[in-house]
Structure 1
């Protein structure tokens, strides 16, 4: 009986430890500057080309696959243009984001969508960008799908 009582907390502790070691991580930053200070840009989870004026950054990434999802808000002025390595593309031709989050849209109706080939991109991942009709909400993702 006492072995059984010891086994229950040990199992619970192991499950908790396993949950803490997830390969998928989420982060929030109030600004691009905060993301840079936290190392998210140097680690590659927030692209270097995200404008310094970007705010409300939310990102999710998988440490093993390098798939990622990033949302941010642009300042009202001046109008922002995606980097030159992003070309307009039909949303249906883009890979679906690897993650679903409440803060990320699941439909890109009305969005300006782009296929991107960043120079620092690794093999096996497709990169995409979507700008909401308001011109301020941006979603960026890399996916192996």
Structure 2
């Protein structure tokens, strides 16, 4: 019996399984960025400070207006096929003022569609809604570290780029 095809198939499966586990955990570089964007539908950006982040353009990389201007070590991870985003930054001298809305939680927890090594576990109990931007965020503060996520739920009163009111989710959260 010729075992060569079985050995080749087993080796191929092993290489693919190793790549599927290893690639998302490698440092950012052009190869892993391309694979993450096309295969996993995720893209990440990192800025030394909030001042380095873009202030115009795609909302994906523009920081929410409630992020202090002196924040540092800003990280963003976003879905390339939707509005889900994870955001992390370190507070500077300017404190983060408290959440500014009483809206409920978004449709689903962003952790169900995004994951990052720098995102902590167990933030649900600490999260508070923040609605002073286009999207409603859930924000958790741990010391000087701020973690926020959105699934693209519009903030109450938010407007689309053409000036029309954004649509709110029709039903309650499915978190």
- Please name the residue that 2:59 is paired with: 44
Unaligned stretches of 5+ residues in structure 2 = 1-30, 153-174
Cα offset, 1:26, TM superposition: 0.6
TM-score, structure 2 normalization: 0.53
* Higher strand proportion (structure 1 or 2): 1
TM-score, structure 1 normalization: 0.63
Cα offset, 1:83, TM superposition: 4.6
Q: Over aligned residues, Cα RMSD in angstroms?
A: 3.2
Choose the corresponding residue for 1:114, options 105, 116, 128: 128
Cα offset, 1:24, TM superposition: 1.3
- Please name the residue that 1:138 is paired with: 146
| Alpha carbons of structure 1 residues 73 and 64: separation in structure 2 relative to 1, 3 Å | same
- Please name the residue that 1:26 is paired with: 44
CA distance in 1, matches of 2:99, 2:57: 18
Q: SS where residue 140 of structure 1 aligns?
A: strand
CA distance in 2, matches of 1:80, 1:105: 19
Judge conservation of contact 2:74–2:87 (CA < 8 Å) in 1. yes
| Alpha carbons of structure 1 residues 105 and 21: separation in structure 2 relative to 1, 3 Å | closer
CA distance in 1, matches of 2:57, 2:66: 12
Judge conservation of contact 1:130–1:138 (CA < 8 Å) in 2. yes
- Please name the residue that 1:80 is paired with: 96
CA distance in 2, matches of 1:74, 1:80: 7
Unaligned stretches of 5+ residues in structure 1 = 1-15
- Please name the residue that 1:127 is paired with: 137
**Which structure's relative contact order is higher, taking Cα pairs within 8 Å and 6+ residues apart?**
1
Judge conservation of contact 2:68–2:95 (CA < 8 Å) in 1. no
| Alpha carbons of structure 1 residues 20 and 80: separation in structure 2 relative to 1, 3 Å | closer
Number of aligned residues: 115
